[in-house]
Amino acid sequence: MNHFYENIFCGFKNAIGRNGIECLLIIAVVAACFNCAMAGDDDFKMVYKNYEDTADHYFYLSSNSYRKGDYKDSQKYDRWALKLYTLNPEYHEERIVCCYLGIAGAAKEMGNYDEALATYKELQETYKQLYGKDYKIYDKVADIYFLKGDYHEAIANYNEVLKICKKRKYEYNSDEMHTNGYLASCFDSLGEPEKALPYALQAYKMSLKILGSSHSTTRIYRANLRRKGINLDAIEAEARAEIKAMYEKKDDK
């Protein structure tokens, strides 16, 4: 614990001559340093006297590590930043969420799917305790179940995503498009092509409208449907008619 006593000394030194909430917050920072040290984070250090600046420092280190593919370091820095941001969660809601998503995302990239799921569940619980509401990450949870081959759980979560998408006012929602595609893949993987087909057709139709007929995603949807022997003339004509109506509606405005 190379920096542990240094962190404690700096914390109490800064607390001298201060009163009330500010003093308590500094002591809380010292407690966070203690928690890091006890968790085996020997190289944790308060880089700046201000806990927020230190948290931001580790947050950006995590982002850089993730981009470089150093997922273990990325997780480490996110955990350190999280310990500090949660000292005053009212002002750091977005960063707290980003830290959890970063930790889970790094776990996913390393193939640690159970760890990723556990982190998403921890985010749900922490978010509810801090802010009194759920943080809806059904799509990310569904993706992990899909990768694990647990298609029934994936389908349940993807259906929750569709419910949320339908409540939004966006006419063309790419999340809804991709979710339909994943649901089709789930049912195909379960050997239920008749259940997969409506989702596959909806994903293709939405892709035509959102991305265009030449986009790589659209081409993949099209190729998969043609391999199944599906005639796409009717749905393509329907998509073209809806695109035309959309532009005419814009011109009227």
Annotated domain spans of the chain: 1-46, 49-135, 137-253
Residue 11 and residue 30 in contact, taking contact as beta carbons nearer than 8 Å: yes
Q: Is the pLDDT of residue 58 over 50?
A: yes
Phi, psi of 200 (to 5 degrees): -65, -40
- Checking if the pLDDT of 226 tops 50, the result is yes
Angle at Cα 100 formed by Cα 99 and Cα 103, nearest 5°?
85
Mean pLDDT computed over every residue of the chain: 84
Does the fold of domain 137-253 match that of domain 49-135? yes
Q: What pLDDT sits at residue 47? A: 64
CATH 1.25.40.10 assigned to 137-253: yes
pLDDT of residue 48: 65
| pLDDT given for residue 22 in this prediction | 52
What class has domain 49-135? mainly alpha
Per the structure block, which two tokens stand in for 154? 């994936």
- Spatial CB neighbours of 16, under 8 Å, sequence gap ≥ 6: none
Q: Tell me the pLDDT band of 172, cut-offs 50, 70 and 90.
A: low
Asked if the model's pLDDT at residue 10 lies above 90, the reply is: no
Looking at residue 5, its pLDDT comes to: 39
CA–CA dist 150, 107 (Å, integer): 18
CA of residue 2 relative to chain centroid, distance: 34
Q: Residue 87: name the closest of 14, 22, 43, 37 by CA.
A: 22
Strand, helix or coil at 169?
coil
pLDDT (tens digit per residue) in 229-244: 999 999 999 989 988 8
Q: pTM, whole model, 2 decimals?
A: 0.77
Look at residue 15 in the predicted model and tell me its pLDDT.
47
For residue 43, pLDDT beyond 80: no
Q: How confident is the model at residue 49 (pLDDT cuts 50, 70, 90)?
A: confident
The two most distant CA atoms of the chain are separated, in Å, by 78
Pick the range with the lowest mean pLDDT from 85-89, 156-160, 204-208.
85-89
pLDDT of residue 3: 46
- Confidence band of 109 (pLDDT split at 50, 70, 90): very high
Average pLDDT over residues 56-60: 94
